[in-house]
Amino acid sequence: MSTSTNISAEGFVPPHDLPPRFRKNRFNTPEASAYFDAAHGVTVAESYLEKMRSVGGGPDFRLFGRNVFYDKTALDAWVMTKLSEPLKNTVKVPKSPRPKKSKPQVKKGTAATSNGEGASAQHR
């Protein structure tokens, strides 16, 4: 089974040697996760797809009652947005901005007490 990607002017073209279970046009979550590996050679966990359905940012999906389905074209389009252009080195790879964790600001010499006042208020 080939895991190389085929790119045409229209976008991704899945390899013709995919197993029969990946030749259909719509997948449930476990099948979509397995399809990413078989067609694109990337690992996308079922739990990640479930999380992205909740918070956004994942591939488009459809509902049939409570059942979730992904169209093959939506999976292919989403994975192509996540893949970078071909690189020769990592020097010019833009770094993802990471959110800074804010620490509570406590001034020196003012310790919090059980009544919410600082230590300086106790010495008045």
Domain residue ranges of the chain, discontinuous segments joined by +:
6-82
| DSSP H/E element including 64 | strand 62-64
Residue 89 has a pLDDT of 86
Q: 98 and 88 in contact (C-beta within 8 Å)? A: no
- With beta carbons less than 8 A apart as the criterion, state whether 65 and 55 touch: no
Nearest-CA neighbor of 40 among 56, 18, 57, 62?
18
Element (H, E) at 53: helix 46-55
Give the per-residue pLDDT at 9: 36
Per-residue pLDDT in tens (0 to 9) along the chain, 124 residues: 444 444 443 456 556 677 777 778 899 999 999 999 998 999 999 999 999 999 999 999 999 999 999 999 999 999 999 988 888 888 877 776 666 666 667 667 665 555 555 555 555 5
